[in-house]
């Protein structure tokens, strides 16, 4: 009877906290970095590792990289770059993961963690190099949000990677159409500039005579050029004479 009274007293005094089972790694509230073996690099922010004897998919906390093979978004600009850089970093040293104080698993069954190679944050590196954006900020898993924002601002200030094109990075992800439109516009501008500056046609007739035709010339439209020139002087220097002379 005295024994049970003592046990009851101890429980009231010290609480009823459950003792973790054997082999369980308790990291809540700590910054312990747990060594893991990388099994596969899926993309810029998701990998598979061997953890506690199991193969687990890990989603990088607080960052988002462009997609490489999404069901609806497909392949986004800089997605392959982020994946390649992620793979390169993870192969360069010893890999470890760190949990935050909140949820460790997302709705898709992926572990949520910070990733390190020889103690250096992979997330920060990707952000600083312009291959990721700060995203999915869900308290209390926000331990390194300030550091990540600073790293992202470095890339943003220098217009690196995903920050090269205005409005590619959005609050909801990455807008590939902006880059596609920009590329198309640049292509049109290049063609337009070419047409304006290098529109002089150089033709060699059957007798071997070199003739150049300006856009206002009589035979300009029907002439198939062997060469293009950006100025009449350039054509003359190349040995061509103006049509009609």
Residues that are catalytic: 59, 67, 110
Closest CA to 77 of 167, 137, 188: 167
Question: Which neighbouring-strand residues pair with 212?
Answer: 202, 242
**Pairing assessment for the beta strands 63-64 and 54-60 based on DSSP bridges:** unpaired
**Pairing assessment for the beta strands 169-170 and 133-134 based on DSSP bridges:** unpaired
- Residue 129 main-chain phi, psi, to 5 deg: -90, 5
Closest CA to 125 of 161, 151, 94: 151
- Residue 193 main-chain phi, psi, to 5 deg: -65, -40
């Amino acid at each position: 009877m005295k024994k049970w009274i003592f046990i009851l007293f101890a429980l009231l005094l010290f609480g009823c906290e459950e003792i973790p089972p054997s082999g369980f790694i308790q990291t809540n509230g700590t910054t312990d970095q747990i060594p893991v073996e990388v099994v596969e690099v899926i993309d810029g922010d998701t990998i598979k590792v061997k953890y506690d004897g199991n193969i687990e998919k890990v989603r990088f906390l607080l960052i988002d990289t462009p997609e490489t093979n999404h069901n609806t978004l497909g392949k986004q600009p800089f997605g392959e770059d982020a994946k390649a850089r992620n793979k390169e970093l993870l192969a360069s040293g010893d890999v470890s993961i760190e949990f935050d104080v909140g949820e460790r698993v997302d709705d898709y069954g992926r572990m949520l963690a910070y990733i390190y190679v020889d103690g250096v944050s992979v997330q920060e590196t990707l952000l600083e190099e312009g291959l990721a954006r700060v995203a999915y900020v869900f308290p209390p898993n926000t331990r390194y949000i300030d550091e990540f924002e600073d790293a992202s601002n470095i890339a943003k200030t220098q217009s690196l990677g995903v920050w090269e094109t205005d409005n590619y990075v959005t609050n909801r992800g990455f807008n590939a159409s902006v880059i596609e439109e920009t590329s198309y516009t640049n292509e049109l501008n290049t063609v337009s500039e070419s047409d304006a500056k290098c529109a002089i046609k150089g033709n060699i007739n059957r007798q071997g005579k070199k003739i150049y035709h300006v856009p206002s010339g009589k035979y300009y439209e029907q002439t198939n050029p062997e060469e293009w020139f950006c100025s009449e002087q350039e054509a003359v220097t190349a040995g061509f004479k103006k049509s009609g002379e």
